[in-house]
Amino acid sequence: MDNRRTYTNRTSYIDSSYNQITKTNSLLNLPKISSIILPKEFELLPNTSEVFELELAFYEYNFLTKDEIIHRGAFFKSVEGIPTYHYLICSNNSPLIWEGRSQITRSYFKEGNFSTGYATHGLFPYRGKFHPQLIKGILNILKIKSGDTVLDPMCGSGTLNIEASIIGINSIGIEKSPFCVLMSKVKQEALKVDNTILPSIIKNSEKNYDILINSNKIPKEFSYYDEFKIEKTTTLLAFLDAMGYARRSSKSIDVLFPSVIKRYIGQIKSFIEMRGKLNLKIGNAKFEIGDARNLNIADNSIDAIITSPPYSFAIDYAENDRPQLEYLGYNVSKLKGKMVGLNGKNKKEKLANYFEDMNKILSEMYRVLKKGKYAVIIIGSNDVQTGGIRLETKVEEMALKIGFARDQKIVKPIKGIQNTMKDEYILFLRKV
């Protein structure tokens, strides 16, 4: 199918819609903004309502062909009545996804299916993770294609990598926290598993749970770093998920584990079904424990970076995952010493260390990117905790000094509970 109309045609479409409105002198039947920026055969996903989402949808409409919107668009439900792959993957989600989840978690992720919980993203909902749909939209705007390699040097739960894999793009994820590397690997490998493995994960889950709960440290047969066994590691992640969950709720890990593992299997099964129906070719993702300030990656080798650093000291990522890290055999205090945002005796020292680290990270990102390519940084303003310093402004200033040009800046309001920040900024930095 084709497709691509010229940008001029598309914008003259907006002009004609705008003229129609200004001529209408009535409040009756006023058009929606989406019907002004998009022809009616392009239907947006049900919850696309924020300004930044409309902006990104409009860019996708301009940069992608109709076929590409169907195969990899992030904000569209259908084109000419043909449902998009994104819509189908999200709609096929297992109803078990919310089983056993607390009301707080449910409402935190209440945009659910269409933004955060589809494919394997819902296996361990890591605090501070990207909205996967946003990442897919950014990959599209950057025109990342098969054969390119994208990088997240602080990959957390691997959201960029999973999104890249779903649309057949190869990626690298680097993280300081070994627990994050485990969860990212499970999410990635689960995208590729054979359906026949799932019944055996369920069948052996009780036996494996007994081994895990009766040990105070990860048993040898569950080690995952060199040799990755999806059956064992999926159960291990569900166990560690239940462990964290038990710490936040009044329920015991014994009670929580069965529903967590059931939810994991339901979610993986739903994705595998869709993978088959849509004949998806899953990209490769390589994850490594590493330091974003000193990347083990060749100069000028990466086609795009999409990343979100800690927003200064807004979240203590090491403390949040202390029980899981200790179970995996890591010393949390030692780890903290290497993590951005967590070092310093007082606020002033912490902030100075944070900016010094961010400068190193930006320099490394510049070094590994190919010339002309983009590093996209998503960062919250966080001026309450920093005594008025706006992180997005400071990071942009540092990036410009290193040699980046800033081409685009999109504001995204932060929703959800207990946030100290109102907005996040999406900075598009080009290596010149």
Ligand X SMILES: C[S@@+](CC[C@H](N)C(=O)[O-])C[C@H]1O[C@@H](n2cnc3c(N)ncnc32)[C@H](O)[C@@H]1O
Q: Which residues bind ligand X (CB under 6 A)?
A: 126, 128-130, 154-157, 159, 174-177, 180, 291-293, 308-310, 317, 338-340
* 143: CB partners within 8 A, 6+ apart: 63
| b/e sequence 208-233, b meaning 16+ C-beta within 10 Å | bbeebeeeeebeeebbbeeeeebbbb
User: Whole-number minimum distance, CB 160 to ligand X, in Å?
Assistant: 7
Identify the three-state secondary structure at position 181: helix
Tokens of 9: 């045609």
How far apart CA 37 and CA 5 sit, in angstroms, is 14
Q: Which is nearer to ligand X, 201 or 339 (CB)?
A: 339
User: Whole-number minimum distance, CB 295 to ligand X, in Å?
Assistant: 9
Q: Which is nearer to ligand X, 4 or 338 (CB)?
A: 338
Detail the DSSP E strand segments found in 309-403: 369-380
Q: Which is nearer to ligand X, 127 or 347 (CB)?
A: 127
User: Whole-number minimum distance, CB 388 to ligand X, in Å?
Assistant: 22
Tokens of 93: 């989600």
User: Whole-number minimum distance, CB 133 to ligand X, in Å?
Assistant: 12
Place of tokens 């009780």: 206
How far apart CA 4 and CA 303 sit, in angstroms, is 24
Q: Which is nearer to ligand X, 69 or 399 (CB)?
A: 399
User: Whole-number minimum distance, CB 249 to ligand X, in Å?
Assistant: 22
Which residue, judged by CB position, is nearest to ligand X in the bound state?
156
Q: Which is nearer to ligand X, 266 or 309 (CB)?
A: 309
Q: Which is nearer to ligand X, 268 or 292 (CB)?
A: 292
379: nearest Cα among 415, 348, 423, 420: 423
User: Whole-number minimum distance, CB 286 to ligand X, in Å?
Assistant: 15
Tokens of 171: 């990626």
Q: Which is nearer to ligand X, 86 or 187 (CB)?
A: 187
* Beta bridge partners of residue 285, listed in sequence order: 171
How far apart CA 378 and CA 412 sit, in angstroms, is 9
User: Whole-number minimum distance, CB 84 to ligand X, in Å?
Assistant: 22
φ, ψ dihedrals at 25, nearest 5°: -105, 45
Question: 3-state DSSP helix/strand/coil percent for the chain, to nearest 5?
Answer: 50, 15, 35
Q: Which is nearer to ligand X, 157 or 171 (CB)?
A: 157
User: Whole-number minimum distance, CB 310 to ligand X, in Å?
Assistant: 5
How far apart CA 316 and CA 301 sit, in angstroms, is 32
Q: Which is nearer to ligand X, 338 or 406 (CB)?
A: 338
Place of tokens 């494919």: 119
421: nearest Cα among 154, 157, 132, 128: 128
User: Whole-number minimum distance, CB 413 to ligand X, in Å?
Assistant: 17
User: Whole-number minimum distance, CB 97 to ligand X, in Å?
Assistant: 18
Q: Which is nearer to ligand X, 243 or 314 (CB)?
A: 314
C-alpha distances (whole Å) from 46 to each of 80, 90, 95, 112, 113 are 16, 11, 18, 12, 11
How far apart CA 59 and CA 82 sit, in angstroms, is 20
Q: Contact at 8 Å (CB) between 267 and 120? A: yes
